[in-house]
Amino acid sequence: MKVIVENKKARFDYHIVDTYEAGIALMGSEVKSLRQGGANLKDSYVSFVGNEIFLQKAHISPYKASSYNNHAPERLRKLLLNRNEIDRIYAAVNEKGMSCVPLKFYFKNGRVKVEIAVVKGKKKADKRATIKMRDANREMSRALKQGSKK
């Protein structure tokens, strides 16, 4: 499994409730651009149109070698999931305070997959606690590293 791009901001801004692996319908130039690492998931989200699920605002850079048949960088991209998974995500998103965001793009057996998550927004205090815990873990690892060098 080769990770193309990860949405680190989503893990900081949200509590992850549930994760799903989804396929994604892409054009050829998009796959080639992803192989070069040209993607950004920063402000992207998952939405429903009818009874289908789509990825919105995920930026995949245009492929430079593709001339006239290139893709639009932030077009709607259909996600490929089972019907019961789509229904479960739809029910979760309809609850108050819940949303669905992509966590990462990756290649699995030559195919592009998207890890999406049903999330709940963090409050400011929760974000501060996350920063505090991250700093404490960093200090502990430094201390352990210093102790092993002596």
Express each pLDDT in 111-147 by its tens digit: 999 999 999 988 888 889 888 998 999 999 988 888 8
Look-up of token digits 């102790």: 147
Q: What confidence tens digit (pLDDT) does each residue in 1-25 have?
A: 888 889 888 888 888 999 999 999 9
Give the number of other Cβ atoms within 10 Å of residue 102's Cβ. Answer: 25
pLDDT above 70 covers a percentage of the chain that reads 99
pLDDT at position 114, please?
94
pLDDT at position 116, please?
94
Specify which residues 88 forms β-bridges with: none
Q: What confidence tens digit (pLDDT) does each residue in 34-66 have?
A: 888 888 888 899 999 988 999 999 888 888 877
Q: What is the DSSP letter of 99?
A: E
90 band by pLDDT with thresholds 50, 70 and 90: very high
Contact at 8 Å (CB) between 119 and 20? no
Q: Which secondary-structure segment (H or E) carries 21?
A: strand 14-24
Residues 6+ apart with CB under 8 A from 22: 53, 79, 80, 81, 113, 114, 115, 116
Whole-prediction pTM? 0.80
Query: Could you give the 3-state DSSP secondary structure of residue 50?
Result: coil
Residue 25 has φ and ψ, to the nearest 5°, of: -85, 115
* pLDDT over threshold 90, residue 70: no
As given in the structure block, the two tokens for residue 109 are 């057996």
* pLDDT over threshold 70, residue 150: no
As given in the structure block, the two tokens for residue 62 are 């245009």
Residues 6+ apart with CB under 8 A from 50: none
Q: What is the DSSP letter of 82?
A: -
* pLDDT over threshold 80, residue 98: yes
Q: Which CATH number does the domain 2-121 belong to among 3.40.50.720, 3.30.465.10, 2.40.280.10, 3.30.1360.30? A: 2.40.280.10
pLDDT at position 63, please?
82
Q: What burial class does residue 77 get, using C-beta atoms within 10 Å of its C-beta: 0-12 exposed, 13-18 middle, 19+ buried?
A: buried
